[in-house]
Every structure is written in structure tokens, then in C-alpha cells.
């Protein structure tokens, strides 16, 4: 499935524009919130494996609805080796259909369903994981890319 172009503001003064990444594979992962335990562990796992992804011509981007300021702090605190994109208007969230109703402390809330997408060099989704469990997920992404 071809992904429509989108632009988002990112950490490190990045103006992310999907069309600028033609010719590279992208791993775009959506996560609920900066500095929460699962989101922190997922970011650490992706960051720890950055060289393996680079060898496969892959760029990694994490997306949540948090602000750039929040992203900059989160990235700096855990020394992530990739950029985080801010999607407060849910532009990319809607394109990838990751906003879901979730139960939080007995209340229904709208939030991001932890999801990862691999986009090929021509802008097509070639693999997606939804409702991701963090443990072992980055290994599964690498296994898919290596197969």
C-alpha cells in the first residue's frame, strides 16, 4: 500500500517530509507517550540496534503526539540515535490509522496503538505490526528485514 506524503516537525530541527526518503527503507514506529516505561524501552531497543538497521539502508523515526520540547528531552535523556517526530494534529496517526479507543484506569480514551511500519524505497508499506508488545519487537523487525 502506497503511503501519501506527509510532513512533520522532528527533533534536531528536522522538517520530515516522506518524499525526501525515496530510495531508503523507513521504519516508522508510533508510540503512546514520551518517557513512559514501554515507550522508553522500545526507543532504547531501536537505538541499540541502529547500526544493524543502517546496514540494511533503513532510517528509523518514532512518532507520538507529544511536543517537540518533550521529544527533545526524551531523546536526550536516553541518547536515542534517531529522530522523533511530533504529530499533535494526528496527521501521520490518521494516515496510518493508529488512533484507537483504549481503556485507561477504567475510562475510554483516544490514544496511539503501539504500531510499527516498514516502508520500502518507493513509499509502499511492506510490513506492519499493530498492538505491539515491546519485548522482542525490534528483533522481529530486524528478522523481517534480514529474511
| pTM for the whole structure | 0.95
pLDDT at 105: 83
**21-146, which class in CATH?**
alpha beta
| 84-88: long-range contacts, CB 8 A cutoff, minimum separation 24 | 84/10, 84/11, 84/34, 85/8, 85/9, 85/10, 85/11, 85/14, 85/16, 85/61, 86/8, 86/9, 86/10, 87/8, 87/63
Per-residue pLDDT reduced to its tens digit, 8-47: 999 999 999 999 999 999 999 999 999 999 999 999 999 9
Which sequence spans correspond to the domains of the chain? 21-146
Confidence of residue 61 (pLDDT cuts 50, 70, 90): very high
CA–CA distance, 73 with 18 (Å, rounded to integer): 24
Query: To which H or E segment does residue 59 belong?
Result: strand 58-64
Per-residue pLDDT reduced to its tens digit, 63-118: 999 999 999 999 999 999 999 999 999 999 999 999 998 887 888 889 999 999 99
Instruction: Give the contacts of 108 (CB within 8 A, at least 6 positions apart).
Output: 101, 102
Catalytic residues: 39
Amino acid at each position: 500500500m502506497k503511503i501519501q506524503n506527509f510532513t512533520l516537525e522532528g527533533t534536531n530541527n528536522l522538517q520530515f517530509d516522506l518524499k525526501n526518503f525515496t530510495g531508503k527503507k523507513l521504519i516508522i514506529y508510533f508510540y503512546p507517550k514520551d518517557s513512559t516505561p514501554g515507550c522508553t524501552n522500545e526507543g532504547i531497543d531501536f537505538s541499540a540496534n541502529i547500526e544493524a538497521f543502517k546496514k540494511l539502508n533503513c532510517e528509523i523515526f518514532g512518532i507520538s503526539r507529544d511536543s517537540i520540547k518533550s521529544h527533545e528531552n526524551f531523546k536526550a535523556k536516553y541518547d536515542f540515535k534517531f529522530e522523533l517526530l511530533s504529530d499533535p494534529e494526528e496527521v501521520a496517526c490518521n494516515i496510518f490509522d493508529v488512533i484507537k479507543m483504549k481503556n485507561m484506569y477504567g475510562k475510554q480514551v483516544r490514544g496511539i496503538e503501539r504500531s510499527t511500519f516498514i516502508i520500502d524505497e518507493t513509499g509502499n508499506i511492506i510490513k506492519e505490526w499493530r498492538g505491539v508488545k515491546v519485548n522482542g519487537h525490534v528483533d522481529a523487525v530486524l528478522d523481517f528485514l534480514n529474511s
